[in-house]
Structure 1
């Protein structure tokens, strides 16, 4: 079983439009509404791949009840912790070129809420092969939220994948997360080249000894694990909705950890999943036929140390 953590889940609303133009009205050609958030998306992808997956996180209010109900048919086993506030909504506007996303902050988490979540997380680690933790942290959660969960998982001998940003990412690295999986924006390099991305990955890897995988959209990814460095690009470009591609990547990394596969195989598989997620209409799903095609074509390059 793989344990997914989404501290700040959301009800994701996706609007499809022909072209997004500032300051104008837009006819919407399609509307999708589903349980989401980065950790939920990763859990959904794992379930779609046939993996047994359990979800921990917070849920509250009417949107929280809707989210729980919607997850009931997803193949994901939810063990969400109730809170007093309302679960947030997230709105993605997808046009022919890209996606624009609006994220609410989420409900305030009280100390008792956090303690109950940490207890649930520890209980679910029994028999768990890997844990993947993704996304933002709701208001009121501890400053070391992900780091504390990493420490609990390490005490149980469970490897972890953490996809977040800023101080939470650095704290998770310092706590010894097995894999750090930010994107280029989350490491502060929206336009950096491969050398800069590798340097950022090396800095993260060096903090706690974990493997750092930095994704860069159409430019693929780089990874650093100790003295080993890799780079990979998608075998071909895929157009569609990029929202959720990083979550599919995290799901692939967690599955690779659970299977104890070699890093080149893990990275190639995770990159194929991320690309196949772009071709799917909503986050949390992948185009399985495209995934199988790209998995056979993806290659990973060894990069010499400078």
Structure 2
């Protein structure tokens, strides 16, 4: 069916001031992790439903912007302050002027968004659990409950989360977890961004409740742990216009491919291509499917045992642990 649901509890209204012919050029867009994922999913041909809470004046604007892009929106509408930010790019660099994460969701809001997501998820092939705009907007345990309930119905669940929300989703069990090496470092799951430390952390994530683990590493090859096999994912290095949204495009590529019946290796290859394309663009979560398909042909996935020097980069204990897992 290729139906994907994105749990995006608090989308963000983004206001960016650009320079054009010595005058201010003001852009309003829907943004935030879930929006960027939904946008790339749509570009890749998936049917996308975004479940969210739209708050106050910013929420009214966001609802129109997202719907106008062709994304189906199931929303809880409420009063209050919604998430938004204001950036100035007239000098070339992005200058942060103001932002708000919006009001925390009430118990009633949480019940309603949970119901919407569960209902939509029962009709979908894949559900992505994405994070809110701020740490205090949604309790982490919501992610555990959603993951557990959706998996109980046989759905594929992808968690693109970090911190307490990642830990909670893992307790509910997920099909795929995607996290960056920087997030692993910030969460204290590794002390250094090295393969020697990341590999054991990947196994730990699997032990906590993830069937498959994907680690993005900026300009370095991604790491994949799936079916007991550890792999490196190589993609051409592209010139960066804006690195934000690359990880969300990666997640979208994985979800779109799995929803259409592809293997996890095919999904990661498409995701890597979508992420690589996204960094070349100023529009976050954007890109043409034809270009993604062309870049996908250049993505190479190598078993770690095939990489020169891989066994020398692991300690004896780490190597023994990996062999036992396989």
> Greater shift after overlay, 225-234 or 116-125?
225-234
Gaps of 5+ in 2: 306-321
Q: How far apart in 1 are the matches of 2:215 and 2:91?
A: 26
Give 1:57's aligned residue.
Answer: 52
CA deviation after TM superposition for structure 1 residue 151, in Å = 1.4
Give 1:150's aligned residue.
Answer: 147
Q: 2:109 aligns with which of 113, 127, 131?
A: 113
Report the TM-score when normalising by structure 1. 0.88
> Greater shift after overlay, 177-186 or 225-234?
225-234
CA deviation after TM superposition for structure 1 residue 220, in Å = 3.2
Give 1:24's aligned residue.
Answer: none
> Greater shift after overlay, 172-181 or 281-290?
281-290
Give 1:234's aligned residue.
Answer: 235
Give 1:267's aligned residue.
Answer: 268
Q: Kindly name which structure, 1 or 2, has the bigger radius of gyration based on alpha carbons.
A: 2
CA deviation after TM superposition for structure 1 residue 14, in Å = 3.6
Greater share of strand residues, 1 or 2?
A: 2
Task: Mark the CA change 1:190 to 1:255 in structure 2 (over 3 Å): closer, same or farther.
Answer: farther
Q: How far apart in 2 are the matches of 1:3 and 1:91?
A: 28
Q: How far apart in 2 are the matches of 1:172 and 1:4?
A: 15
Give 1:71's aligned residue.
Answer: 66
CA deviation after TM superposition for structure 1 residue 200, in Å = 2.3
What SS is found at the alignment partner of 1:162? strand
Q: How far apart in 2 are the matches of 1:143 and 1:299?
A: 35
Task: Mark the CA change 1:79 to 1:221 in structure 2 (over 3 Å): closer, same or farther.
Answer: same
Task: Mark the CA change 1:227 to 1:93 in structure 2 (over 3 Å): closer, same or farther.
Answer: farther
Task: Mark the CA change 1:303 to 1:67 in structure 2 (over 3 Å): closer, same or farther.
Answer: same
CA deviation after TM superposition for structure 1 residue 255, in Å = 1.4
Give 1:194's aligned residue.
Answer: 195
Gaps of 5+ in 1: 18-26
Give 1:254's aligned residue.
Answer: 255
Mapping of residues 1-306 of structure 1, within 5 Å: 1-15=3-17, 31-91=26-86, 104-136=100-132, 139=136, 141-188=138-185, 192-225=193-226, 227-304=228-305, 305=322
Q: Is the 8 A contact 2:176 2:210 kept in 1?
A: no
CA deviation after TM superposition for structure 1 residue 287, in Å = 4.4
Q: How far apart in 1 are the matches of 2:24 and 2:103?
A: 31
Task: Mark the CA change 1:58 to 1:179 in structure 2 (over 3 Å): closer, same or farther.
Answer: same
Q: Is the 8 A contact 2:132 2:138 kept in 1?
A: no
Q: How far apart in 1 are the matches of 2:33 and 2:95?
A: 16
Give 1:23's aligned residue.
Answer: none
Q: Is the 8 A contact 1:252 1:273 kept in 2?
A: yes
RMSD: 2.6
Q: How far apart in 2 are the matches of 1:97 and 1:44?
A: 25
How many residues align? The count is 298
Q: How far apart in 1 are the matches of 2:55 and 2:256?
A: 29
